[in-house]
Amino acid sequence: MSADGSGGRVLPARSGDPARVGPYRIIGRLGAGGMGTVHAGLDADGSRVAVKVVHAVFAEDAEFRARFRREVELSSRVTGPWLVPVLAADPDADAPWLATAYVAGLTLHEHLARFGPLTGGTLYAFAAGTAHALAAVHRSGVMHRDVKPQNVILAPGGPRMLDFGIAHAAEGTAVTRTGVVSGTPGWISPEHYRTGASGFEGDVFAWGALVAHAATGRLVFGTGAPDAIAYRVMSERPDLEGVPADLREVVEQALAKRPEERISAADAAEAATRLLAGQVTTVLPPGTVLEPTRVGELVCSEWGVPPLDDPAWRLLSRSRSRVLLAVLAAVIVVAGGAGMSSLLRPAGPADAAKPRTPATSPQSPVAPTVVPAHTSTAAASTPPSMDRRAARPPQDPLAGVDRPAFTRHDDGSQPHPEEWRNSTTARTRTEKDTARAVQHLVTTILATKDMDFMRPTVTFNERAQTVMVTGGPVSTLTDDYKEVFRRASDMAACVTLAHQLKNNPTTWPYGRFIIGWKDDEQAPQATFLGYGQATDGCYNEIAGTWQGDEEGLATAGRASSDTSEIRVASTTVKGVNSGWRRRLAEGHGLEPFAADDAVSLGFDPVENAAYVWARDPDGALLGRAQRSHFRDVVATNVCENLMSEYSANSAWPYTRWSIALYQGNAAFPEIIASGDCLPAP
């Protein structure tokens, strides 16, 4: 349940995310994992916390709850300067959760992917800090049992270890009992592979692999099939080429095949600290025991990881509480505000293949013409209109309604698998119309990406007041396909249900939705991709202003199959390049981009937005003035071309735009500006 995947940054909350968990106000996401979702939260004093909420499928397992409660109690006892402490937890909540202090920084996994191995004093400080963290865990009588790169954050003041013990609350429960060894291949000890034994020595083994991985960027037992990795762990020597000789000696002791031959965490901490002291020419007499304060001084003196601050904490904390500040608007429009990370590097629209014009284009449908949900199916009903340029759905469709039929608008609980299993196909005419509207909007959104084969099934659970949108069964699709399906289904369900709630507030009971995917027709239930409520708004906004984000950018980066999109993208990119050359010639102190093809454009059909991204390895847009010039050039050309097509093509939906930069050699972009070419109503 680490926050790995967010790049150390807070991401916008998704529709359906809770507004509060326990005493904490939720303002966004930090990531997700197999056990649940990690939310960005604030306590009453405004301090930042990471709130980990368990998936409903685990919460239904009584054995899991018992283990989770025990692990929380044990982990709460563990303290130390290199650990991320547990602040609060509620194992008995409908969705069990725990909160830890938020630590800004990349995980080791993310740092290695971006910047490569740790070197010099930073490597020795990493080894010492993590060893002391593990020793503190063991002194408290707790085993970590999940030491791996995703569970170590490289904070400004040194490494921080998290998730000690928590991830293994699920082991052996009905949810995970599959007859296979639990854990992450490459971070499992030989004895655990052989007998299932899990002890302090297994943590030390994983620590040795962790330090070697930090030093080389390689996995010490290689990659490949899990059984091949298991064989190497049990039978072959680890690959330690590139680990400094003095540190390698300690790592080899940690990676001994027999647990009784391994160094202890406390001895590893002492040995690593002496090696670190040698990096700063500090000579320690034999037998010297360093106090934690002195160890901290040594680690900080050699630590070479820069601080990572994320302005999205400030922006999102305001947007979730609906506070509109003039200074925030200035940051969004001029400075670009939060630098969100993208999990996918976009490809340009020129990569599109087999251009075609789909019969329909993605748009939000006009509010369907409906009859009360309990009216006889024999009653006449007009299918929902599919005007693809309808007005945006209402932000709060039940405002001013005394007794709405949908009563769960204040319910922030996660969906349960039973709700999906008990759903049925549409029965009334209104449900059938709604199902058609959702299906139509999903497929038209996906059509421009050549993904309209992912036609969903729509079912209803009136008791849960929830609509289920389920894709599949297709077992060969990668996660990036499923993510676009989730976004399209989320938008289609939210838009359609919001209109129904607005037009029929006292008779229409459905306001929640679940997005799922089935890889196999025989699967007993779908895998949950997301959920939300149509009463929370359907678009990504900060302080009431639409904002592009990394999810939209990733979708825009997928090649388009719509000839109109390809034509408008090509024309707009040419216009931006021409406009930038004119600015250069006017003598504003601007620099040209390093490559002629630095600027690209793609479309996100989910939120009807065009994304422009630029690769800037030489820092042509490093300063605020340079970015302001580029924003003006992009906004002028994008709006001119979007609105020209909007006037000539009644099926054209795109009016929004967003700009992203890849600065220097960064693999992750920064969103610097967003806007809408249509004036506000």
Among the options 17, 146, 163, 203, which is catalytic?
146
**Residue 403 burial by CB count (10 A; 0-12/13-18/19+): exposed, middle or buried?**
exposed
Largest CA distance in the chain: 91
Query: Could you tell me whether strands 106-107 and 152-155 are parallel, antiparallel, or unpaired per DSSP bridges?
Result: antiparallel
Phi, psi of 675 (to 5 degrees): -170, 180
Contact 190, 256 (CB under 8 A): no
CB-side neighbour CA atoms (13 Å) of 36: 27
Residue 335 CA to residue 337 CA, distance in Å, equals: 6
Q: How many Å from the N-terminal Cα to the C-terminal Cα in the chain?
A: 42
Contact 100, 49 (CB under 8 A): yes
The DSSP call for residue 264 is: P
Catalytic: 92? Answer: no
The residue type found at 661 is L
Residue 659 CA to residue 243 CA, distance in Å, equals: 42
Sheet with 152-155: strands ordered across: 106-107, 152-155, 158-161
Element (H, E) at 640: helix 624-648
Residue 475 CA to residue 457 CA, distance in Å, equals: 16
Contact 381, 369 (CB under 8 A): yes
Residue 475 CA to residue 478 CA, distance in Å, equals: 9
The b/e string for 463-496 (b: 16+ C-beta within 10 A; e otherwise) is ebbbbbbbbbeeeebeeebbbbbbbbbbbbbbbb
**Residue 461 burial by CB count (10 A; 0-12/13-18/19+): exposed, middle or buried?**
buried
- DSSP three-state, residue 183: coil
315: nearest Cα among 298, 297, 333, 289: 333
CA distances from 272 to 63, 123, 479 (A): 39, 10, 40
Query: Could you tell me whether strands 656-663 and 609-616 are parallel, antiparallel, or unpaired per DSSP bridges?
Result: parallel
Contact 14, 38 (CB under 8 A): no
Nearest 5°: the CA angle 21, 26, 32 is 85
* Residues taking part in catalysis: 146
